[in-house]
Amino acid sequence: MKKILQQKATQYLLVISGFLSVFVLLVFILDSIVLPLVVSRNDTIVVPNVENINAEEAKETIIKSGLIVQGITEQYNEKIPAGVVITQLPFGGTKVKEGRRIYITVSKGKETLRMPFLVGKSIREARVELIRLGLNNSTERYEFNESVNENYVLAQNYPSGQIVNPNDVISIVISKGSSSSLVVPSIMDLTREDAEKLLAQYDLIIGDIIFQKNETYEPGYIIVQHPPAGTKVAPNTKINVTISS
């Protein structure tokens, strides 16, 4: 009877040991092979390339891929139409984790501006206005005028309100004042080179030059002139200047 019980116990132990061995083997296979493959497939995503496609389509593609669209920015672009993706980060083809944020930049199309009204403004005001709008490609021409004070804008090549591009050449005509008498123009806040060009149009020349330190002005700009602007003088009069250093 004892032998029979011992034999049965031994058989049960063998069966249990067999089951445990199979279970351990299955756990090892699941943990070492199957789970890494499943996790790798589920967590790693190849970022789709959405450059040069419509922004709405790009967002839909990114979301369907298990990623998040975030940080959408817009900028003007001469070549890419408005509403189309210019760049993306991370780039298309990059392997990332599921739920990664994708940043895209969308084109606003070609930048256009409206021409400001410059007639009647001083040359300084006109220059500041053009620079503020990004219209840096400008030319200036001077003419005598009996009714408009010197250094004020007489005319502009584009009418106020017309749409212009940043690269368009903006031409303005500036008054030299009355032709009946030679009046010294203001060369304050100009560089020596610009002052010489302006004075040449009035048959005047740069005279003595003094360099002086000044905390208000950047180096290289005229801070004092003599005779002062508005003085009536003869042709070829020398205009003495002090330049900031």
Return the domain boundaries, the chain: 44-109, 112-180, 182-245
Burial class (CB in 10 A: 0-12, 13-18, 19+), 202: buried
212 strand-pairing partners: 244
Report the number of secondary-structure helices (H) and strands (E) in the chain: 5, 14
pTM of the entire predicted model: 0.41
Predicted pLDDT at 145 = 84
Report d(CA 59, CA 97) in Å as an integer: 17
Amino acid at 28: F
SS3 107: strand
Pick the CATH number of 112-180 from 3.30.10.20, 3.40.50.300, 3.30.950.10, 3.50.50.60: 3.30.10.20
Structure tokens given for 39: 């996790």
Domain 182-245: top CATH class: alpha beta
What percentage of the chain's residues is helix, strand, coil (to nearest 5)? 30, 30, 40
Pick the CATH number of 44-109 from 3.30.10.20, 3.40.1280.10, 3.40.50.300, 3.20.20.140: 3.30.10.20
Residue-by-residue DSSP string for 195-243: HHHHHHHTT-EEEEEEEE--SSSPTTBEEEEESPTT-B--TT-EEEEEE
CA-to-CA dists, residue 5 to 10, 11, 19, angstroms: 9, 10, 21
- Asked whether the domain spanning 182-245 has the same topology as the one spanning 44-109, the reply is yes
pLDDT in tens, the chain (245 residues): 555 545 555 565 555 565 556 655 664 565 556 545 544 555 688 999 999 999 999 999 999 999 999 878 999 888 899 999 999 999 999 999 988 999 999 999 887 788 999 999 999 999 999 988 888 888 898 888 888 888 999 999 999 999 888 888 999 999 987 766 678 999 999 999 999 999 998 889 999 999 999 888 889 999 999 999 988 887 788 999 999 98
